[in-house]
Structure 1
């Protein structure tokens, strides 16, 4: 056998037995978190891939928990990644070095693919987010898969057909028969695209009209939300009696990005005050229902002192006794009449599960709450994330489960009407579960990736 033949055989043997090298591209903090959930499940597979990452937006801190190496430059832009709702944010990012950063990231991806090819390694790319990482993956020269987090057919239609829209410009969103435009579908239908994982079954079935390898495996956003308590413990044999005496619980979701979250919190506190006033009215659904608990699910990156000042300015006083048990030794408790307000930065999942409804000004957190089958009332803010355009789009995506109000004081009226009609609550529960999917998507996607990319 000639030397060249031996080298060829050796290379093929190495390629067949060596683990896959996987590069993950994501463009936003939420996308990073979704990617990490999938990667955690991939690492638990037999013969897992060797994983690298390149967050295209932000610093990719979520990857640090898995000690995944980054292959190129990362930087936080002024917009925080929210450029699609506001052209001014894009202009700020360009001035902040967005174009130079993007060029360096393109070079980093090509360099990584080229180096793995020279070493004879199997290589693939997992793109998580929108068209930007998908473009990077398509033109990398490697096989790739795509987790589409930014779009859903529910933005433009539901199971009954197209949604009515006021603006003529809205037709642009669906001009070609899908919320994914022809150029996006072209990227997903290339030979080297081995799998596409849309957000929901409606989007998956729509994409299957074209030669796109779309798989309906669920939404990883609903993974990792288990509460610290068991449902059996919380609802025991005396569940009916417990339900009649347990307090009404309201989850408060102001978002995670300062300073926007602080402004959102001010609006939420106005809504809380309006709710408190409505509970004192004799025709209120909750007039005789006893204690009310407001659960402030506060992101670790926020300053709880700033939020506490806002709470106390609305007439709440600090309280040493917490009415419920949460695994947070630093929880802050406030009381006003028969109501308690808790601020916790360590009990996010419990706040989602305990809440009967939410007052929400957040992106991912709102969707996760609704995915548990519960209603949320949203107040559009001033952005850059939770502005009127974002809130309106989110309400289309989540349907009847998300109710928009223009002013915080309107929340009280919505709450009263919701809980006067159990049928509406049942419809909302079914709608949320259908649109957000069942837990376990990360594992299902990881298993599919292992099969399709290896």
Structure 2
């Protein structure tokens, strides 16, 4: 697929650009927020999906083809995920993206990779072919994933081994980068012990957490506390929203709010429930005597207002934990929040995350137990804020990118 005419027109004009390569929804969001801080032209190459987050960046130019994967970017989450992605053209289209990235780096001043080892390989090739510097932003790995991981547990998670810790080849590639930024201090120490001078400047997850987008008092003023329902941006939501809603019906002392990132036609309800759509941003799920607001474009507001959350999400769960809000989770059949993913996130978040059965009664009991046990809730809050850490990384990285580009 040829690059866009807009890209061809600006390739050799003006100041040196930054080429951002990212491979995932959260990675795109981090890349887009970083791009918005840069004082130089931006090109972006999303390796999974369309990279919609970048469309908010004025004059940013997309390069390369769009790869839509059935797994949503988790080909190694299960054998089924991998088979579906291969059938969808994973291998052929990925090789084409490597060529796109090389072409996109021509005339640029720096390549910035936001993502895992695979994205780093693509970025390394592009930077070397263009003879320019490389900066790696690694928001996925954490040395905290290794805490309490037994040999047996590691064997159960072989498909996620490269997501638990950097493989030797990733460390070799990272060692060739101008700068490497990781998600927490323990991971920076892990890299340093293996000869890579990685830096921790703050939490990427908290950097991209939106401020409250709207006033929620119409929903919360009469019945605090607030229970946030976070089904996530992946297809897991089709399995996870129904038990969340059923659990909320068993918790009349809470005001439940659903943070919904999809279109209304994607809402999956429990049997006997109905969806009453009020506007583009507000609907109500009704059933079993309750009426639960389902809100689009309000994740930041719900996250800040929440007392407790039920979540089957990656970054969103981490953001709730980083705010000091305990999160109750349960495994789905995938593609993202599988039992293995839940175990990994539990090691990352510690007491901030409780994993229970995908049963409305079990979910409701765990939420109620957290609410009633003040010391436990305090330990969960401290664990989340400590293990995720404060915001502040992206402005530091933006300055490093601009220096690398000669700005």
Match of 1:21 in 2: 17
Deviations 1:86-141 (A, max 9, x none): 1222222222212221221122222333x42xxxxx62110111011101122231
| Shift, 1:82, TM fit | 1.4
- Indicate how the Cα distance of structure 1 residues 447 and 406 shifts in structure 2: closer, same or farther if over 3 A, else same: same
User: 1:112 and 1:354, CA in 2 relative to 1: closer, same or farther beyond 3 A?
Assistant: closer
Give the equivalent residue in structure 2 for 1:249: 226
Mapped to 1, the partners of 2:263 and 2:275 lie a distance apart of 24
1:98 corresponds to: 90
Find the aligned partners of 1:164 and 1:249 in 2 and give their Cα distance: 37
CA distance in 1, matches of 2:140, 2:234: 19
* Residues 448/341 of structure 1: CA separation in 2 closer, same or farther (3 Å cut): same
SS of equivalent residue, structure 1 residue 251: strand
Give 1:317 shift: 9.7
Q: Aligned with 1:111: secondary structure? A: helix
Taking structure 1 as reference, are residues 175 and 93 closer, same or farther at Cα in structure 2, changes over 3 Å only? closer
- Structure 1 alignment gaps of length 5 or more: 1-17, 43-47, 117-121, 234-241, 277-290, 321-327
**How far, CA to CA, are the matches of 1:126 and 1:400 in structure 2?**
34
Counterpart of 1:355 (choices 298, 306, 316) is 306
Residue 266 (1) aligns with residue 242 (2) = yes
User: Given the superposition, is the C-alpha separation of residues 50 and 97 from structure 1 closer, same or farther in structure 2, using an over 3 Å criterion?
Assistant: same
Query: 1:35: Cα distance to partner?
Result: 0.4
Contact 1:292 1:340 (8 Å CA) reproduced = no
After superposition, what is the alpha-carbon deviation per residue over 1:174-196, rounded to whole angstroms, capped at 9, x for unaligned? 999x8212211111112xx1111
- State the SS of the aligned residue for 2:293: strand
Determine the structure 2 residue equivalent to 1:208: 192
Tell me, yes or no, if structure 1 residue 56 matches structure 2 residue 32. no
Q: State the distance in 2 between where 1:179 and 1:168 align.
A: 11
Deviation of 1:421 after TM superposition, in Å, equals 2.6
Map of 1:11 onto structure 2: none
User: Which structure: larger Rg?
Assistant: 1
Equivalent residues in 2 for 1:62-211 (5 A)?
62-66=53-57, 67-113=59-105, 115-116=106-107, 123-140=109-126, 141=128, 142-157=132-147, 162-164=148-150, 166-167=152-153, 169=155, 179-190=165-176, 193-211=177-195
Rounded to whole Å, the distance in 1 between the matches of 2:189 and 2:323 is 23
1:34 aligns with 2:30: yes
The DSSP-based 3-state class of the residue aligned with 1:303 is helix
Question: How many residue pairs get matched?
Answer: 384
For structure 2, the residue ranges without an aligned partner over 5 or more in a row are 1-13
Instruction: Give the whole-Å Cα distance in 2 for the aligned partners of 1:174 and 1:317.
Output: 37
Q: Is the 8 A contact 1:155 1:397 kept in 2?
A: yes
CA distance in 2 between partners of 1:360 and 1:195 (Å): 33
In the alignment, is residue 451 of structure 1 matched against residue 406 of structure 2? no
Give the CA deviation at 1:144. 0.4
- Residue 337 (structure 1) shift: 9.3
Check conservation: 1:194, 1:213, Cα contact below 8 A: no
Q: Which residue among 360, 373, 380 is the counterpart of 2:331?
A: 380
* Residue in 2 that maps onto 1:439: 391
Task: Provide the alpha-carbon RMSD of the alignment.
Answer: 3.2
Inter-CA distance 319–345: structure 2 relative to 1 (3 Å threshold)? closer
User: Superposition pairs for residues 322-333 of structure 1, below 5 Å?
Assistant: 330-333=281-284
C-alpha displacement of 1:356: 0.7
1:404 equivalent to 2:389? Answer no
| d(CA) in 2 for partners of 1:433, 1:181 | 28
**Cα distance change of structure 1 residues 255 and 197 upon mapping to structure 2, 3 Å threshold:** same
Distance 1:27 1:348, change over 3 A: same
Residue 275 of structure 1 corresponds to which residue in structure 2? 251
Task: Answer yes or no: is the 8 Å Cα contact 1:293–1:339 preserved in 2.
Answer: no
TM-score in terms of structure 1 length: 0.76
For the Cα contact (< 8 Å) 1:372–1:432, is it kept in 2?
yes
Number of the residue aligned with 1:7: none
Find the aligned partners of 2:153 and 2:125 in 1 and give their Cα distance: 35
